[in-house]
Chain A
Amino acid sequence: MAAATTPGGGASTGAAVAVVLRAPDRVHPRGQPAAIEVEVRNVGDADIWMVGVLDGSEGGTRYPQYLPAVMRAGVTVATPGVAEDPLVARLRAADIRRLAPGAAFDPTRPADNAAYHPLSTFAIWTCPHAGEYQYVLGLSTASQAVEQWLGRLGPAEDPEQLRELIAHIPRLMTRSNILTIRVA
Chain B
Amino acid sequence: MATLDGHDVAELVQPADPTDGMPAAGDALLGDSVEAEVQFEQLGELSGSGDFQVGAVAPRPTVIAATATRPVYGRYRGVRGSFQLEVRVDVDGARPLKRFSADFFQVSGGTTTYYGSFQVNAPTITKTATELKLEGIGSFTWATTAKLVRVTIPRVQSESPLQPATVKFITPPSTLAATYLCPFASRNYRTISLEQDSVAGAVPFVSYNTGSLAQPSSSPARTLTLSSAYGEAGIQLLAGGAPNVVPVSAAGLQATPTWSDSELHAAMVNHFSKFANASRWQVWLLIATTHEGGYRGIMFDDSDAFQRQGAAVFYDAIKGNDAASQRAQLRTYVHEIGHAFNLLHSWQKNLADPPQPLGPNGGLGDLSWMNYAWKYQPPPPSAGGEAAYWANFAFQFTDRELAHLRHGLYKNVIMGANAFGKGAAEVDPNLFDDPIADASGLALDLRAEAAFEYGEPVVVELKLATTDLRGSETHSFLHPKDDFVTIAIRQPSGRVLVYRPLMPRCADEGRTVILNAAKPAVYDSAYIGYGRDGLYFETPGEYALRAQYVASDGSRVVSPVLRLRVRPPLSQADERAGELLMGSEQGQLLYLLGSDAPSLQAGNEALEELVEEHSEHPLAVYAQMLKGVNAGRDFKQLTSDKELAVREAEPQESIELLSKVTDASRSTPTAGVDDITLNLVMRRTARAQARAGDPEQAEAVLDDMVGLFESRKLKPHVLRAIREQAQRTREAIAELTS
**Using a CB–CB distance below 8 Å, which chain A residues touch chain B?**
32, 55, 61, 80-87, 89, 117-118, 120, 123-126, 152-155
Measured CB to CB, the closest approach of chain A to B361, in angstroms, equals 9
B332 at the A interface (CB under 8 A): yes
Cβ B347 vs Cβ A55 within 8 A: yes
Residue of A nearest to B332 (CB): A84
Q: Across the interface, which residues of B come within 8 angstroms of A55, CB to CB?
A: 347-348
- Bound-state CA distance A153–B375 (Å) is 19
- Bound-state CA distance A84–B650 (Å) is 72
Task: Identify which of A61, A83, A123, A154 contacts B384 (C-beta below 8 A).
Answer: A123
B648 at the A interface (CB under 8 A): no
- Bound-state CA distance A84–B345 (Å) is 10
Residue of B nearest to A117 (CB): B347
Task: Identify which of B294, B296, B336, B351 contacts A89 (C-beta below 8 A).
Answer: B351
Cβ B344 vs Cβ A85 within 8 A: no
Cβ A81 vs Cβ B386 within 8 A: yes
Measured CB to CB, the closest approach of chain B to A128, in angstroms, equals 11
Residue of B nearest to A32 (CB): B381
- Bound-state CA distance A86–B260 (Å) is 12
- Bound-state CA distance A152–B381 (Å) is 33
- Bound-state CA distance A89–B299 (Å) is 14
- Bound-state CA distance A13–B385 (Å) is 42
B364 at the A interface (CB under 8 A): yes
Q: Across the interface, which residues of A come within 8 angstroms of B298, CB to CB?
A: 85-87
- Bound-state CA distance A86–B295 (Å) is 7
Cβ B374 vs Cβ A81 within 8 A: yes
Task: Identify which of B293, B351, B375 contacts A81 (C-beta below 8 A).
Answer: B375
Cβ B351 vs Cβ A86 within 8 A: no
Cβ A153 vs Cβ B293 within 8 A: no
Measured CB to CB, the closest approach of chain B to A47, in angstroms, equals 30
Measured CB to CB, the closest approach of chain A to B617, in angstroms, equals 29
Cβ B296 vs Cβ A120 within 8 A: no
Q: Mark B341-377, 1 if CB is under 8 A from A, else 0.
A: 0001101100101000000000010000000111111
B138 at the A interface (CB under 8 A): no
Q: A123-B384, A125-B385 are in contact. Are A85 and B421 (CB under 8 A)?
A: no
Cβ A87 vs Cβ B345 within 8 A: yes
Q: Across the interface, which residues of A come within 8 angstroms of B344, CB to CB?
A: 87, 153
B411 at the A interface (CB under 8 A): no
Q: Across the interface, which residues of A come within 8 angstroms of B336, CB to CB?
A: 85
Query: In this complex, which of A55, A120, A126, A155 has the most chain B Cβ atoms within 10 angstroms of its Cβ?
Result: A120
- The 9 listed contacts between A and B (C-beta, < 8 Å) are A55-B347, A81-B375, A82-B296, A84-B335, A86-B295, A89-B351, A123-B377, A123-B384, A155-B351
Measured CB to CB, the closest approach of chain B to A77, in angstroms, equals 12
Cβ B296 vs Cβ A153 within 8 A: no
Q: Across the interface, which residues of B come within 8 angstroms of A86, CB to CB?
A: 293, 295, 298
Cβ A87 vs Cβ B373 within 8 A: no
Cβ B353 vs Cβ A87 within 8 A: no
Cβ A83 vs Cβ B377 within 8 A: no
- The 10 A-B pairs with the shortest beta carbon distances in the complex, nearest first, are A81-B374, A154-B351, A124-B384, A124-B385, A85-B298, A120-B375, A85-B295, A84-B296, A153-B421, A85-B297
B: number of interface residues (CB 8 Å): 34
Q: Count of A-B contacts with CB under 8 A? A: 81
Cβ B335 vs Cβ A120 within 8 A: no
Query: In this complex, which of A32, A55, A123 has the most chain B Cβ atoms within 10 angstroms of its Cβ?
Result: A123
Q: Across the interface, which residues of B come within 8 angstroms of A125, CB to CB?
A: 385
**Using a CB–CB distance below 8 Å, which chain B residues touch chain A?**
293-299, 302-303, 317, 332, 335-336, 339, 344-345, 347-348, 351, 353, 364, 372-377, 381, 383-386, 420-421
Q: Across the interface, which residues of B come within 8 angstroms of A120, CB to CB?
A: 364, 374-375, 377, 384-385
- Bound-state CA distance A153–B344 (Å) is 9
- Secondary structure dominating the interface of A: loop
Cβ A153 vs Cβ B420 within 8 A: yes
Q: Across the interface, which residues of A come within 8 angstroms of B317, CB to CB?
A: 82
Query: In this complex, which of B297, B299, B345 has the most chain A Cβ atoms within 10 angstroms of its Cβ?
Result: B345
Measured CB to CB, the closest approach of chain B to A149, in angstroms, equals 14
Cβ B339 vs Cβ A85 within 8 A: yes
Cβ B348 vs Cβ A83 within 8 A: no
Measured CB to CB, the closest approach of chain B to A106, in angstroms, equals 16
Cβ A85 vs Cβ B299 within 8 A: yes
Q: Across the interface, which residues of B come within 8 angstroms of A124, CB to CB?
A: 374, 376-377, 383-385
Measured CB to CB, the closest approach of chain A to B312, in angstroms, equals 9
Query: In this complex, which of A89, A124, A125, A152 has the most chain B Cβ atoms within 10 angstroms of its Cβ?
Result: A124
Q: A120-B377, A123-B384 are in contact. Are A82 and B421 (CB under 8 A)?
A: no
Measured CB to CB, the closest approach of chain B to A97, in angstroms, equals 20
Measured CB to CB, the closest approach of chain A to B326, in angstroms, equals 16
Q: Assuming A81-B373, A83-B293, what are 17 further A-B pairs, CB within 8 angstroms?
A: A61-B293, A82-B294, A82-B295, A82-B317, A83-B294, A85-B296, A85-B297, A85-B336, A87-B344, A87-B348, A117-B347, A124-B385, A125-B385, A126-B385, A153-B421, A154-B348, A154-B421
Residue of B nearest to A148 (CB): B293
- Bound-state CA distance A80–B372 (Å) is 11
Residue of B nearest to A125 (CB): B385
- Bound-state CA distance A165–B385 (Å) is 34
Q: Across the interface, which residues of B come within 8 angstroms of A84, CB to CB?
A: 295-297, 332, 335, 372
Task: Identify which of A81, A123, A152, A153 contacts B372 (C-beta below 8 A).
Answer: A81
Residue of B nearest to A110 (CB): B362
- Bound-state CA distance A61–B294 (Å) is 9
- Bound-state CA distance A89–B421 (Å) is 10
Residue of A nearest to B292 (CB): A86
Measured CB to CB, the closest approach of chain A to B302, in angstroms, equals 6
Q: Across the interface, which residues of A come within 8 angstroms of B297, CB to CB?
A: 84-85
Q: A55-B347, A153-B420, A154-B421 are in contact. Are A87 and B384 (CB under 8 A)?
A: no
Q: Across the interface, which residues of B come within 8 angstroms of A61, CB to CB?
A: 293, 295
Measured CB to CB, the closest approach of chain A to B386, in angstroms, equals 7
Q: Across the interface, which residues of B come within 8 angstroms of A117, CB to CB?
A: 347
- Bound-state CA distance A81–B420 (Å) is 24
- Bound-state CA distance A165–B524 (Å) is 48
